[in-house]
Every structure is written in structure tokens, then in C-alpha cells.
Amino acid sequence: MKIECRNVSYLYDVPGDGWALTDIGLTITQGEKIAVVGPAGSGKTTLIQLLDALILPTKGDVLYDGMSVRVLSRSKRLPSIRRRIGVLFQFPEHQFFHESAYEELTFAMRNLVSAGSTEIDARARSMTDRFQLDMDALKGMSPFNLSSGEKRKLALASALMTSPEVLILDEPTAGMDALGRKELIHIISTLKDTTVILVTHNQEDFLGIVDRVIGISKGAMVIDASRDVLIDHLATMNEAGITPPLVLTVQHWLKACGCGLDRKFFDMKDLIGYLSAQARRT
């Protein structure tokens, strides 16, 4: 599904609040992997709530395969769009509303795609295996009693149960330990045809698997760059209060010293491996 934001601005209905987003223009094509970065309060969550049609723009429009969110909303057809989008909220417990974690996991399959119980059970089994969650334990457990990392895994597994075309993740690795982060990043990296839009404060975590980075500052889009040219936007990032990924900063320093590399690195381990090999050779 192609998603377009046309001159989107958003104002929360709270007296005294300024615009949360101003004049955002954006086209996202099917299968793209995008990281949305920006300081706290810059408008990242607001942007992805607009992309998921949870809120409607105050000005401008969002189009899904060319269909206006306003028209879809007026004709009560938004559920047909939301069904194609999986979401992981910044605080996953805000999206839980079932007594058992298993019901939570299977809700969308039961209600949105009306699958049979054998199919649901098989899908739940494969999804819990993939996320290293214990499906039988989930049946007798409240989702609210899971650890914060497990809640995040459950919320992501629930979103993936129906194989959505688009996956929107708000800080998917926040509060997770190193192993959990690695597992989650690996799972996201295997979603080849799915559009993934993720908000993160840890660019280091995701630079290896995204192809585009969008930077938001004070409600404005200050960066929309492919990962390959992100290194040319480090000054803008710093001005906007966004800490650039160290792996890009180091390559920038090397270039400034006249030691530019003949290839690009997005993972610090790969860069160090390459530099060590070069050092051994000289």
C-alpha cells in the first residue's frame, strides 16, 4: 500500500498547545523500511498515529493508495485500511484489552480475518515460537503481568498474526535488554515485503535494516534521506538535537582527515572489522 502525507499539520485540541506537526510531505511505497527519529516531543508519535489513521490531520491529507483519509473516514471505511496496518504502540499495555495474553495474540485473526480455530492455533504456535514466547503459558496469563520486554514481543507478535502490509512500530526496542533487542531487530529484518515504519531513539539498533531515515524536529520534517546519503545530513541532525549514529560520525571524521573509505558502513562492528583488517595490512 502506498501512503502519502500531503501538507499534513496537526494540532491537539488542548488550549495553549502549539502545532504538534507542520506541513509534512511524505510518500511511502510498499516494502520500504523507514526509521523516524527526533528529540522527545518532536512529533514522532503524532506522525505515526496519522499514518495509521488513528487521528485525522488538522490540515492537509493522508492518502492510502490514493484514497483520502477524510473521504474514508466520512464513508466509515477506515477499518478496511487499519486492517492492513499492524501497530505496536509506544506503551504496549495501552493496546491490550483481553484477559489472557493468548486472546490478545489471536484477537485480530478471530475478528478481522475470521479464521478458523485450527488455523489460528497453528499461526499462534508459529508466531510464539518465532518470538520465543510460551504459547501454553500465554493462555493462562494476563498480558498485563508480562515483563515489559515480553509485552513488547506480545504486541508485535499480535500485530504480525495477520501479516499486515504495513507495520508501524513506536520505539519497539525501548526497555528491552540486549538479547531481546537483537531478536526483535532480526524479526523485523526478515519482513522483506512489509512496509516498516519505526520510531526510535536508537538509530544504532536499526541503521543496519532500514533504507530511509526521517528526522523530525519541533513538528517539522528536517530530514528525509536514504540511509546511503544520511552521512551528508549529520550537521542537520546535530542542529535538530538528534544524536547521529556513531558509525556515521566516525566515517565523517575519517573523511574529514582525508581517509575516506571506499564503501559505506552502517554497523559499528563491521566498520571496526574493516579498519582492523586495513591496519593489519599496513
Q: Which residues bind ligand ATP (CB under 6 A)?
A: 12, 14, 17, 20, 38, 40-46, 90
Minimum CB–partner distance for residue 86 and Mg ion (Å): 18
Min separation Cβ 10 and ligand ATP, Å: 8
What is the maximal distance between C-alpha atoms in the chain? 68
C-alpha grid cell, residue 215: 528526522
Residue at 219: amino acid letter: G
Which partner from the list ligand ATP, Mg ion, none does 86 bind, CB cut-off 5 to 8 Å by kind? none
> What burial class does residue 278 get, using C-beta atoms within 10 Å of its C-beta: 0-12 exposed, 13-18 middle, 19+ buried?
exposed
Question: How near is the Cβ of 116 to ligand ATP at its closest, in Å?
Answer: 39
Query: Which residues does 222 contact at the CB level (< 8 Å), separation at least 6?
Result: 215, 216, 236, 240
What is the nearest approach in angstroms of ligand ATP to the Cβ of residue 20?
Answer: 4
Q: Which is nearer to ligand ATP, 12 or 97 (CB)?
A: 12
DSSP-derived pairing of the beta strands 21-28 and 195-199: unpaired
The three-class DSSP label of residue 84 is coil
Using CB under 5 A, which of the segments 55-63, 86-94, 134-142, 212-220 binds Mg ion? 86-94
Which is closer to ligand ATP, CB of 16 or CB of 258? 16
Judged by CB under 5 A, the residue of 9, 19, 39, 45 near Mg ion is 45
Nearer to ligand ATP, 94 or 280 (CB): 94
Question: In the complex, what is the shortest distance from the CB of residue 182 to Mg ion, in angstroms, rounded to a whole number?
Answer: 23
d(CA 98, CA 102): 9
Pairwise CA distance, residues 39 & 203, whole Å: 12
The answer to whether residue 202 forms part of the interface with Mg ion (CB under 5 A) is no
Closest of 121, 155, 145, 116 to residue 135, by C-alpha: 121
Binding site for Mg ion (CB under 5 A): 45, 90
